[in-house]
Structure 1
Protein backbone atom coordinates (compact mmCIF):
# COMPACT_ATOMS: atom_id res chain seq x y z
CA UNK A 1 0.00 0.00 0.00
CA UNK A 2 1.23 3.46 -0.93
CA UNK A 3 2.12 5.56 2.07
CA UNK A 4 2.83 9.27 1.99
CA UNK A 5 4.66 11.16 4.69
CA UNK A 6 3.78 14.61 5.95
CA UNK A 7 6.77 16.07 4.13
CA UNK A 8 5.68 14.57 0.81
CA UNK A 9 2.13 15.86 1.22
CA UNK A 10 3.44 19.29 2.15
CA UNK A 11 5.72 19.37 -0.90
CA UNK A 12 2.80 18.41 -3.17
CA UNK A 13 0.56 21.07 -1.65
CA UNK A 14 3.25 23.71 -2.04
CA UNK A 15 4.14 22.82 -5.63
CA UNK A 16 0.62 22.49 -7.01
CA UNK A 17 -2.13 23.81 -4.76
CA UNK A 18 -0.59 27.18 -3.87
CA UNK A 19 0.01 28.21 -7.51
CA UNK A 20 -3.46 26.92 -8.35
CA UNK A 21 -5.05 29.43 -5.97
CA UNK A 22 -3.35 32.37 -7.71
CA UNK A 23 -4.31 31.13 -11.17
CA UNK A 24 -7.89 30.36 -10.16
CA UNK A 25 -8.38 33.75 -8.50
CA UNK A 26 -7.20 35.51 -11.67
CA UNK A 27 -9.47 33.48 -13.95
CA UNK A 28 -12.46 33.95 -11.66
CA UNK A 29 -12.14 37.74 -11.69
CA UNK A 30 -10.53 38.77 -14.99
CA UNK A 31 -12.69 39.99 -17.91
CA UNK A 32 -13.92 37.64 -20.64
CA UNK A 33 -13.06 34.42 -18.78
CA UNK A 34 -14.34 35.61 -15.40
CA UNK A 35 -17.77 36.71 -16.64
CA UNK A 36 -21.07 34.91 -16.32
CA UNK A 37 -20.75 33.73 -19.92
CA UNK A 38 -18.17 31.17 -18.77
CA UNK A 39 -19.30 28.78 -16.06
CA UNK A 40 -17.27 28.36 -12.87
CA UNK A 41 -16.62 24.71 -13.74
CA UNK A 42 -15.01 25.65 -17.07
CA UNK A 43 -12.87 28.29 -15.35
CA UNK A 44 -11.73 25.74 -12.77
CA UNK A 45 -10.81 23.22 -15.47
CA UNK A 46 -8.90 25.94 -17.32
CA UNK A 47 -7.05 26.88 -14.12
CA UNK A 48 -6.10 23.23 -13.57
CA UNK A 49 -4.85 22.94 -17.15
CA UNK A 50 -2.75 26.11 -16.87
CA UNK A 51 -1.33 25.03 -13.52
CA UNK A 52 -0.35 21.60 -14.85
CA UNK A 53 1.25 23.20 -17.92
CA UNK A 54 3.43 25.70 -16.07
CA UNK A 55 4.15 23.66 -12.93
CA UNK A 56 7.38 22.06 -14.30
CA UNK A 57 8.81 25.52 -15.02
CA UNK A 58 8.00 27.09 -11.65
CA UNK A 59 10.65 27.73 -9.02
CA UNK A 60 10.81 25.51 -5.92
CA UNK A 61 7.80 26.00 -3.67
CA UNK A 62 7.91 26.06 0.13
CA UNK A 63 6.88 22.98 2.07
CA UNK A 64 3.49 23.61 3.63
CA UNK A 65 1.66 21.91 6.46
CA UNK A 66 -1.93 21.84 5.26
CA UNK A 67 -3.29 22.22 8.81
CA UNK A 68 -0.96 25.04 9.80
CA UNK A 69 -1.86 28.71 10.10
CA UNK A 70 1.01 29.59 7.77
CA UNK A 71 -0.67 27.63 4.98
CA UNK A 72 -3.87 29.65 5.42
CA UNK A 73 -1.88 32.90 5.24
CA UNK A 74 -0.08 31.84 2.06
CA UNK A 75 -3.35 30.72 0.44
CA UNK A 76 -4.95 34.06 1.30
CA UNK A 77 -1.96 35.86 -0.17
CA UNK A 78 -2.14 33.89 -3.43
CA UNK A 79 -5.86 34.60 -3.76
CA UNK A 80 -5.27 38.30 -3.12
CA UNK A 81 -2.54 38.51 -5.74
CA UNK A 82 -4.73 36.83 -8.35
CA UNK A 83 -7.68 39.08 -7.53
CA UNK A 84 -5.58 42.23 -7.83
CA UNK A 85 -4.26 41.13 -11.23
CA UNK A 86 -7.81 40.53 -12.40
CA UNK A 87 -8.89 43.87 -10.92
CA UNK A 88 -6.34 45.73 -13.06
CA UNK A 89 -7.76 44.08 -16.18
CA UNK A 90 -11.29 44.94 -15.06
CA UNK A 91 -10.28 48.59 -14.75
CA UNK A 92 -8.95 48.54 -18.31
CA UNK A 93 -12.21 47.14 -19.71
CA UNK A 94 -14.34 49.54 -17.68
CA UNK A 95 -12.70 52.48 -19.48
CA UNK A 96 -14.63 51.65 -22.63
CA UNK A 97 -17.84 50.84 -20.73
CA UNK A 98 -17.79 54.24 -18.99
CA UNK A 99 -16.90 55.97 -22.26
CA UNK A 100 -19.90 54.41 -23.99
CA UNK A 101 -22.21 55.41 -21.13
CA UNK A 102 -20.99 59.02 -21.26
CA UNK A 103 -21.60 59.26 -25.00
CA UNK A 104 -25.02 57.62 -24.65
CA UNK A 105 -26.10 60.14 -22.01
CA UNK A 106 -24.92 63.08 -24.12
CA UNK A 107 -26.71 61.96 -27.27
CA UNK A 108 -29.94 60.99 -25.51
CA UNK A 109 -29.55 57.22 -25.66
CA UNK A 110 -29.15 56.77 -21.93
CA UNK A 111 -32.65 55.26 -21.74
CA UNK A 112 -31.82 52.66 -24.42
CA UNK A 113 -30.31 49.94 -22.25
CA UNK A 114 -29.93 46.21 -22.60
CA UNK A 115 -28.93 43.41 -20.29
CA UNK A 116 -25.19 42.78 -20.29
CA UNK A 117 -24.85 38.98 -20.45
CA UNK A 118 -21.32 39.15 -19.02
CA UNK A 119 -22.23 40.98 -15.81
CA UNK A 120 -26.00 40.47 -15.61
CA UNK A 121 -26.85 44.20 -15.36
CA UNK A 122 -28.50 46.72 -17.67
CA UNK A 123 -26.11 49.04 -19.51
CA UNK A 124 -26.61 51.55 -22.35
CA UNK A 125 -26.40 50.11 -25.84
CA UNK A 126 -23.40 52.26 -26.79
CA UNK A 127 -21.51 51.04 -23.74
CA UNK A 128 -22.28 47.44 -24.66
CA UNK A 129 -21.02 48.04 -28.21
CA UNK A 130 -17.77 49.44 -26.83
CA UNK A 131 -17.37 46.45 -24.50
CA UNK A 132 -17.86 44.00 -27.38
CA UNK A 133 -15.34 45.96 -29.45
CA UNK A 134 -12.66 46.01 -26.74
CA UNK A 135 -13.20 42.29 -26.07
CA UNK A 136 -12.62 41.44 -29.73
CA UNK A 137 -9.56 43.70 -29.89
CA UNK A 138 -8.15 42.18 -26.69
CA UNK A 139 -8.45 38.65 -28.06
CA UNK A 140 -7.33 39.54 -31.60
CA UNK A 141 -4.15 41.25 -30.33
CA UNK A 142 -3.34 38.32 -27.97
CA UNK A 143 -3.86 40.29 -24.81
CA UNK A 144 -4.92 37.13 -22.98
CA UNK A 145 -1.60 35.50 -23.87
CA UNK A 146 0.27 38.48 -22.41
CA UNK A 147 -1.75 38.12 -19.21
CA UNK A 148 -0.87 34.43 -18.92
CA UNK A 149 2.79 35.27 -19.58
CA UNK A 150 2.78 37.83 -16.77
CA UNK A 151 1.02 35.29 -14.53
CA UNK A 152 3.73 32.67 -15.14
CA UNK A 153 6.46 35.26 -14.63
CA UNK A 154 4.90 36.44 -11.38
CA UNK A 155 5.87 33.17 -9.67
CA UNK A 156 9.52 34.13 -10.21
CA UNK A 157 9.30 37.86 -9.42
CA UNK A 158 6.71 37.41 -6.67
CA UNK A 159 7.25 33.90 -5.30
CA UNK A 160 4.92 32.16 -2.89
CA UNK A 161 5.49 33.31 0.67
CA UNK A 162 7.26 36.56 -0.26
CA UNK A 163 4.86 38.71 1.76
CA UNK A 164 2.01 41.09 1.00
CA UNK A 165 2.64 43.89 -1.48
CA UNK A 166 1.05 46.67 0.52
CA UNK A 167 2.71 49.35 -1.60
CA UNK A 168 1.36 47.85 -4.84
CA UNK A 169 -2.19 47.61 -3.52
CA UNK A 170 -2.05 51.18 -2.28
CA UNK A 171 -0.75 52.28 -5.67
CA UNK A 172 -3.74 50.62 -7.34
CA UNK A 173 -6.13 52.47 -5.02
CA UNK A 174 -4.46 55.77 -5.89
CA UNK A 175 -4.77 55.22 -9.66
CA UNK A 176 -8.50 54.57 -9.82
CA UNK A 177 -8.92 58.04 -11.33
CA UNK A 178 -7.02 56.76 -14.37
CA UNK A 179 -10.17 54.94 -15.47
CA UNK A 180 -12.40 58.04 -15.52
CA UNK A 181 -9.69 60.21 -17.04
CA UNK A 182 -9.00 57.72 -19.82
CA UNK A 183 -12.74 57.33 -20.53
CA UNK A 184 -13.14 61.10 -20.84
CA UNK A 185 -10.10 61.30 -23.10
CA UNK A 186 -11.54 58.56 -25.31
CA UNK A 187 -14.87 60.31 -25.90
CA UNK A 188 -13.76 63.94 -25.64
CA UNK A 189 -14.15 64.62 -29.41
CA UNK A 190 -17.66 63.14 -29.41
CA UNK A 191 -18.67 65.10 -26.30
CA UNK A 192 -17.35 68.34 -27.84
CA UNK A 193 -19.23 67.76 -31.09
CA UNK A 194 -22.48 66.98 -29.24
CA UNK A 195 -22.02 70.08 -27.11
CA UNK A 196 -21.73 72.22 -30.25
CA UNK A 197 -24.91 70.63 -31.59
CA UNK A 198 -26.80 71.37 -28.36
CA UNK A 199 -25.56 74.97 -28.41
CA UNK A 200 -26.78 75.29 -32.00
CA UNK A 201 -30.21 74.06 -30.94
CA UNK A 202 -30.20 76.60 -28.12
CA UNK A 203 -29.46 79.42 -30.57
CA UNK A 204 -32.25 78.18 -32.86
CA UNK A 205 -34.68 78.21 -29.93
CA UNK A 206 -33.81 81.82 -29.09
CA UNK A 207 -34.01 82.90 -32.72
CA UNK A 208 -37.34 81.14 -33.41
CA UNK A 209 -39.28 80.58 -30.17
CA UNK A 210 -42.27 79.22 -32.06
CA UNK A 211 -40.14 76.31 -33.31
CA UNK A 212 -40.71 73.16 -31.28
CA UNK A 213 -37.10 72.26 -30.72
CA UNK A 214 -37.93 69.07 -28.81
CA UNK A 215 -39.76 67.52 -31.77
CA UNK A 216 -36.80 67.92 -34.11
CA UNK A 217 -33.87 68.30 -31.74
CA UNK A 218 -34.15 64.93 -30.02
CA UNK A 219 -34.19 62.70 -33.14
CA UNK A 220 -31.61 64.89 -34.84
CA UNK A 221 -29.29 64.61 -31.84
CA UNK A 222 -29.63 60.82 -31.94
CA UNK A 223 -28.81 60.64 -35.65
CA UNK A 224 -25.88 63.03 -35.40
CA UNK A 225 -24.65 61.28 -32.26
CA UNK A 226 -24.59 57.90 -34.01
CA UNK A 227 -22.78 59.50 -36.94
CA UNK A 228 -20.19 61.01 -34.59
CA UNK A 229 -19.67 57.65 -32.87
CA UNK A 230 -19.22 56.02 -36.27
CA UNK A 231 -16.61 58.61 -37.24
CA UNK A 232 -14.84 58.19 -33.89
CA UNK A 233 -14.46 54.44 -34.41
CA UNK A 234 -11.62 55.19 -36.83
CA UNK A 235 -9.41 56.36 -33.94
CA UNK A 236 -10.44 53.84 -31.31
CA UNK A 237 -7.70 51.35 -32.27
CA UNK A 238 -4.94 53.88 -31.55
CA UNK A 239 -6.55 54.76 -28.22
CA UNK A 240 -6.94 51.09 -27.37
CA UNK A 241 -3.24 50.42 -27.95
CA UNK A 242 -2.26 53.25 -25.59
CA UNK A 243 -4.62 52.17 -22.80
CA UNK A 244 -3.78 48.47 -23.22
CA UNK A 245 -0.06 49.20 -23.01
CA UNK A 246 -0.56 51.21 -19.83
CA UNK A 247 -2.76 48.53 -18.24
CA UNK A 248 -0.41 45.66 -19.08
CA UNK A 249 2.61 47.64 -17.93
CA UNK A 250 0.74 48.43 -14.74
CA UNK A 251 0.07 44.71 -14.37
CA UNK A 252 3.77 43.94 -14.74
CA UNK A 253 4.71 46.58 -12.18
CA UNK A 254 2.25 45.15 -9.68
CA UNK A 255 3.92 41.74 -9.76
CA UNK A 256 7.40 43.31 -10.11
CA UNK A 257 7.92 41.78 -13.55
CA UNK A 258 10.16 43.39 -16.14
Structure 2
Protein backbone atom coordinates (compact mmCIF):
# COMPACT_ATOMS: atom_id res chain seq x y z
CA UNK A 1 0.00 0.00 0.00
CA UNK A 2 1.42 3.34 -1.04
CA UNK A 3 1.59 6.39 1.21
CA UNK A 4 -1.30 8.07 -0.62
CA UNK A 5 -3.48 4.97 -0.23
CA UNK A 6 -2.56 4.72 3.45
CA UNK A 7 -3.51 8.34 4.07
CA UNK A 8 -6.76 7.88 2.16
CA UNK A 9 -7.64 4.77 4.17
CA UNK A 10 -6.98 6.52 7.50
CA UNK A 11 -8.97 9.59 6.48
CA UNK A 12 -11.86 7.38 5.37
CA UNK A 13 -11.82 5.57 8.72
CA UNK A 14 -11.75 8.88 10.59
CA UNK A 15 -14.82 10.14 8.69
CA UNK A 16 -16.72 6.92 9.42
CA UNK A 17 -16.04 7.18 13.15
CA UNK A 18 -16.92 10.87 13.10
CA UNK A 19 -20.23 10.10 11.38
CA UNK A 20 -21.42 7.83 14.19
CA UNK A 21 -20.46 10.30 16.90
CA UNK A 22 -22.07 13.19 15.03
CA UNK A 23 -25.31 11.22 14.71
CA UNK A 24 -25.38 10.53 18.44
CA UNK A 25 -24.60 14.12 19.44
CA UNK A 26 -27.46 15.45 17.28
CA UNK A 27 -30.12 13.74 19.45
CA UNK A 28 -28.50 13.01 22.80
CA UNK A 29 -29.40 15.33 25.70
CA UNK A 30 -26.81 17.84 26.92
CA UNK A 31 -24.57 17.25 23.89
CA UNK A 32 -27.30 18.01 21.36
CA UNK A 33 -28.85 20.98 23.13
CA UNK A 34 -29.73 23.86 20.87
CA UNK A 35 -27.83 26.23 23.13
CA UNK A 36 -24.62 24.39 22.28
CA UNK A 37 -23.11 26.00 19.13
CA UNK A 38 -22.73 23.81 16.07
CA UNK A 39 -18.96 24.35 16.07
CA UNK A 40 -18.76 23.06 19.65
CA UNK A 41 -20.78 19.97 18.74
CA UNK A 42 -18.55 19.24 15.76
CA UNK A 43 -15.49 19.80 17.94
CA UNK A 44 -16.85 17.36 20.53
CA UNK A 45 -17.49 14.77 17.84
CA UNK A 46 -13.98 15.33 16.46
CA UNK A 47 -12.38 14.99 19.92
CA UNK A 48 -14.27 11.77 20.63
CA UNK A 49 -13.26 10.47 17.22
CA UNK A 50 -9.59 11.12 17.91
CA UNK A 51 -9.83 9.23 21.22
CA UNK A 52 -11.71 6.26 19.76
CA UNK A 53 -9.71 6.10 16.53
CA UNK A 54 -6.89 3.83 17.83
CA UNK A 55 -9.44 1.34 19.23
CA UNK A 56 -11.29 1.07 15.93
CA UNK A 57 -8.05 1.08 13.94
CA UNK A 58 -6.83 -1.96 15.89
CA UNK A 59 -9.79 -3.99 14.58
CA UNK A 60 -8.62 -3.37 10.99
CA UNK A 61 -12.09 -2.72 9.57
CA UNK A 62 -12.91 -3.17 5.90
CA UNK A 63 -13.58 0.15 4.16
CA UNK A 64 -14.97 0.34 0.62
CA UNK A 65 -12.61 1.96 -1.85
CA UNK A 66 -15.34 3.02 -4.33
CA UNK A 67 -17.19 6.30 -3.81
CA UNK A 68 -20.83 5.14 -3.81
CA UNK A 69 -20.36 2.18 -1.43
CA UNK A 70 -18.33 4.42 0.87
CA UNK A 71 -21.04 7.10 0.93
CA UNK A 72 -23.57 4.37 1.76
CA UNK A 73 -21.42 3.27 4.71
CA UNK A 74 -21.16 6.88 5.93
CA UNK A 75 -24.95 7.22 5.83
CA UNK A 76 -25.27 3.90 7.66
CA UNK A 77 -22.91 5.09 10.40
CA UNK A 78 -24.87 8.32 10.82
CA UNK A 79 -28.06 6.27 11.19
CA UNK A 80 -26.38 4.06 13.80
CA UNK A 81 -25.46 7.18 15.78
CA UNK A 82 -28.98 8.56 15.42
CA UNK A 83 -30.53 5.33 16.74
CA UNK A 84 -28.22 5.35 19.77
CA UNK A 85 -28.90 9.06 20.32
CA UNK A 86 -32.63 8.43 20.08
CA UNK A 87 -32.51 5.80 22.84
CA UNK A 88 -30.52 8.20 25.00
CA UNK A 89 -33.01 11.00 24.22
CA UNK A 90 -35.85 8.94 25.72
CA UNK A 91 -34.69 10.08 29.17
CA UNK A 92 -35.58 13.63 28.13
CA UNK A 93 -38.91 12.48 26.66
CA UNK A 94 -39.92 10.90 29.98
CA UNK A 95 -39.28 14.10 31.93
CA UNK A 96 -41.07 16.26 29.39
CA UNK A 97 -44.04 13.89 29.35
CA UNK A 98 -44.30 14.10 33.13
CA UNK A 99 -44.10 17.89 32.92
CA UNK A 100 -46.86 17.94 30.30
CA UNK A 101 -49.10 15.91 32.61
CA UNK A 102 -48.45 18.24 35.55
CA UNK A 103 -48.98 21.37 33.43
CA UNK A 104 -52.29 20.03 32.14
CA UNK A 105 -53.63 19.58 35.66
CA UNK A 106 -52.20 22.85 37.01
CA UNK A 107 -53.55 24.88 34.10
CA UNK A 108 -50.17 25.80 32.60
CA UNK A 109 -50.87 24.19 29.24
CA UNK A 110 -51.73 27.49 27.57
CA UNK A 111 -48.55 29.08 28.84
CA UNK A 112 -46.02 26.57 27.51
CA UNK A 113 -42.56 28.08 27.38
CA UNK A 114 -39.75 27.70 24.89
CA UNK A 115 -37.44 24.86 25.89
CA UNK A 116 -33.97 26.37 26.51
CA UNK A 117 -32.38 23.00 25.75
CA UNK A 118 -33.94 22.16 22.39
CA UNK A 119 -35.56 25.48 21.46
CA UNK A 120 -39.04 24.00 20.94
CA UNK A 121 -42.31 24.65 22.76
CA UNK A 122 -42.48 22.46 25.83
CA UNK A 123 -44.28 22.38 29.21
CA UNK A 124 -43.07 24.65 32.00
CA UNK A 125 -42.76 21.83 34.51
CA UNK A 126 -41.01 19.76 31.84
CA UNK A 127 -38.51 22.58 31.46
CA UNK A 128 -37.97 22.71 35.19
CA UNK A 129 -37.51 18.96 35.52
CA UNK A 130 -35.25 18.76 32.48
CA UNK A 131 -32.94 21.55 33.69
CA UNK A 132 -32.82 20.02 37.18
CA UNK A 133 -32.13 16.54 35.78
CA UNK A 134 -29.40 17.91 33.50
CA UNK A 135 -27.65 19.54 36.44
CA UNK A 136 -27.91 16.30 38.44
CA UNK A 137 -26.50 14.22 35.58
CA UNK A 138 -23.63 16.61 34.97
CA UNK A 139 -22.80 16.94 38.67
CA UNK A 140 -22.63 13.14 39.04
CA UNK A 141 -20.61 12.70 35.80
CA UNK A 142 -23.39 10.57 34.30
CA UNK A 143 -22.51 11.92 30.85
CA UNK A 144 -19.26 9.97 31.11
CA UNK A 145 -21.32 6.77 31.04
CA UNK A 146 -23.00 7.95 27.84
CA UNK A 147 -19.60 8.47 26.24
CA UNK A 148 -18.46 5.07 27.50
CA UNK A 149 -21.60 3.49 26.02
CA UNK A 150 -20.79 5.04 22.64
CA UNK A 151 -17.23 3.70 22.82
CA UNK A 152 -18.60 0.28 23.76
CA UNK A 153 -20.88 0.36 20.72
CA UNK A 154 -17.93 -0.51 18.47
CA UNK A 155 -17.54 -3.82 20.32
CA UNK A 156 -21.16 -4.77 19.51
CA UNK A 157 -21.78 -2.84 16.29
CA UNK A 158 -18.72 -2.75 14.02
CA UNK A 159 -18.27 -0.25 11.24
CA UNK A 160 -20.56 -0.98 8.31
CA UNK A 161 -22.80 -3.44 10.23
CA UNK A 162 -24.29 -6.11 8.02
CA UNK A 163 -27.52 -6.56 10.02
CA UNK A 164 -30.34 -4.29 11.14
CA UNK A 165 -31.03 -3.32 14.78
CA UNK A 166 -33.55 -5.10 16.98
CA UNK A 167 -36.95 -5.61 15.40
CA UNK A 168 -39.68 -3.01 15.85
CA UNK A 169 -41.03 -4.74 19.00
CA UNK A 170 -38.10 -3.35 20.97
CA UNK A 171 -38.88 0.22 19.97
CA UNK A 172 -42.61 -0.26 20.57
CA UNK A 173 -41.80 -1.44 24.09
CA UNK A 174 -39.55 1.60 24.54
CA UNK A 175 -42.42 3.94 23.64
CA UNK A 176 -44.68 2.08 26.08
CA UNK A 177 -42.04 2.45 28.82
CA UNK A 178 -41.75 6.18 28.09
CA UNK A 179 -45.51 6.71 28.54
CA UNK A 180 -45.60 4.54 31.66
CA UNK A 181 -42.62 6.23 33.32
CA UNK A 182 -43.88 9.71 32.39
CA UNK A 183 -47.16 8.97 34.18
CA UNK A 184 -45.28 7.60 37.20
CA UNK A 185 -43.05 10.70 37.37
CA UNK A 186 -45.97 13.12 37.18
CA UNK A 187 -48.46 11.09 39.23
CA UNK A 188 -47.68 12.57 42.71
CA UNK A 189 -48.52 16.13 41.65
CA UNK A 190 -51.20 15.05 39.19
CA UNK A 191 -52.92 12.80 41.74
CA UNK A 192 -52.86 15.46 44.45
CA UNK A 193 -54.42 18.00 42.09
CA UNK A 194 -57.10 15.52 41.02
CA UNK A 195 -58.00 14.95 44.68
CA UNK A 196 -58.17 18.72 45.18
CA UNK A 197 -60.47 19.02 42.15
CA UNK A 198 -62.74 16.39 43.66
CA UNK A 199 -62.79 18.38 46.90
CA UNK A 200 -63.65 21.58 45.04
CA UNK A 201 -66.45 19.77 43.20
CA UNK A 202 -67.93 18.52 46.49
CA UNK A 203 -67.66 22.02 47.94
CA UNK A 204 -69.49 23.45 44.95
CA UNK A 205 -72.30 20.97 45.47
CA UNK A 206 -72.67 21.74 49.18
CA UNK A 207 -72.34 25.53 48.86
CA UNK A 208 -73.34 26.54 45.30
CA UNK A 209 -73.87 30.17 46.32
CA UNK A 210 -70.11 30.71 46.67
CA UNK A 211 -68.11 31.50 43.52
CA UNK A 212 -65.36 28.95 44.13
CA UNK A 213 -63.93 29.14 40.63
CA UNK A 214 -62.74 32.70 41.19
CA UNK A 215 -60.17 31.49 43.72
CA UNK A 216 -59.67 27.84 42.81
CA UNK A 217 -57.16 28.44 40.00
CA UNK A 218 -54.50 30.34 42.02
CA UNK A 219 -55.03 27.94 44.91
CA UNK A 220 -54.47 24.97 42.57
CA UNK A 221 -51.25 26.53 41.30
CA UNK A 222 -49.96 27.18 44.80
CA UNK A 223 -50.99 23.70 45.97
CA UNK A 224 -49.33 22.09 42.93
CA UNK A 225 -46.10 24.03 43.51
CA UNK A 226 -46.08 22.94 47.17
CA UNK A 227 -46.48 19.28 46.21
CA UNK A 228 -43.79 19.70 43.55
CA UNK A 229 -41.46 21.28 46.12
CA UNK A 230 -42.03 18.41 48.53
CA UNK A 231 -41.32 15.85 45.81
CA UNK A 232 -38.00 17.46 44.81
CA UNK A 233 -36.23 15.53 47.58
CA UNK A 234 -37.10 12.28 45.76
CA UNK A 235 -36.32 13.65 42.31
CA UNK A 236 -32.63 12.73 42.38
CA UNK A 237 -33.36 9.08 43.15
CA UNK A 238 -35.99 9.00 40.40
CA UNK A 239 -33.58 10.46 37.83
CA UNK A 240 -30.92 7.96 38.90
CA UNK A 241 -33.39 5.12 38.36
CA UNK A 242 -34.38 6.49 34.95
CA UNK A 243 -30.74 6.81 33.93
CA UNK A 244 -30.02 3.20 34.92
CA UNK A 245 -33.00 2.05 32.87
CA UNK A 246 -31.78 4.15 29.95
CA UNK A 247 -28.37 2.50 30.08
CA UNK A 248 -30.08 -0.90 30.17
CA UNK A 249 -32.03 0.00 27.03
CA UNK A 250 -28.80 0.98 25.30
CA UNK A 251 -27.18 -2.33 26.29
CA UNK A 252 -30.22 -4.26 25.02
CA UNK A 253 -30.00 -2.33 21.76
CA UNK A 254 -26.33 -3.25 21.36
CA UNK A 255 -26.90 -6.90 22.18
CA UNK A 256 -29.86 -7.17 19.84
CA UNK A 257 -27.96 -5.44 17.05
CA UNK A 258 -25.05 -7.84 17.46
CA UNK A 259 -27.25 -10.92 16.97
Q: Give me the TM-score of the superposition, normalised by structure 2.
A: 0.91
1:201-224 deviation line (CA, Å, top 9, x unaligned): 001100011110111211111111
The question of 1:175 aligning with 2:192 is answered no
The question of 1:159 aligning with 2:163 is answered no
Q: Which moved more, 1:36-45 or 1:113-122?
A: 113-122
Residues 74 and 161 in structure 1, CA contact (< 8 A), matched pair in contact too: yes
Query: In the alignment, what sits opposite 1:227?
Result: 226
Query: In the alignment, what sits opposite 2:252?
Result: 253
Query: In the alignment, what sits opposite 1:40?
Result: 38
TM superposition shift of 1:88: 0.9
Query: In the alignment, what sits opposite 1:56?
Result: 54
Q: Distance in 1 between matches of 2:60 and 2:38?
A: 27
| 3-state SS, counterpart of residue 110 of structure 2 | coil
Residues 22 and 42 in structure 2, CA contact (< 8 A), matched pair in contact too: yes
Residues 28 and 34 in structure 1, CA contact (< 8 A), matched pair in contact too: yes
The question of 1:69 aligning with 2:72 is answered no
Q: Distance in 2 between matches of 1:155 and 1:123?
A: 34
TM superposition shift of 1:247: 0.5
TM superposition shift of 1:13: 3.7
Q: Distance in 2 between matches of 1:251 and 1:95?
A: 16
| 3-state SS, counterpart of residue 111 of structure 1 | helix
Query: In the alignment, what sits opposite 1:242?
Result: 241
Residues 18 and 78 in structure 1, CA contact (< 8 A), matched pair in contact too: yes
Q: Which runs of 5+ in 2 are unaligned?
A: none
Tell me the C-alpha RMSD between the 2 structures.
2.1
Query: In the alignment, what sits opposite 1:147?
Result: 146
Q: Distance in 2 between matches of 1:66 and 1:29?
A: 30
1:21-51 deviation line (CA, Å, top 9, x unaligned): 1011111221111121011111111111111
Structure 1 consecutive aligned stretches of length 4 or more whose deviation exceeds 6 Å: none
How many residue pairs get matched? 255
Q: Distance in 1 between matches of 2:89 and 2:203?
A: 43
Q: Go from structure 1 to structure 2 and tell me whether the alpha carbon gap of 1:145 and 1:119 turns closer, same or farther (over 3 Å shift).
A: same
1:138-157 deviation line (CA, Å, top 9, x unaligned): 21222211011111111122
Q: Distance in 2 between matches of 1:164 and 1:75?
A: 15
The question of 1:90 aligning with 2:89 is answered yes
TM superposition shift of 1:20: 1.1
TM superposition shift of 1:166: 3.3
Residues 14 and 61 in structure 1, CA contact (< 8 A), matched pair in contact too: no
Residues 13 and 66 in structure 1, CA contact (< 8 A), matched pair in contact too: no
User: How is 1:8-19 mapped onto 2 (pairs within 5 angstroms)?
Assistant: 8-19=6-17
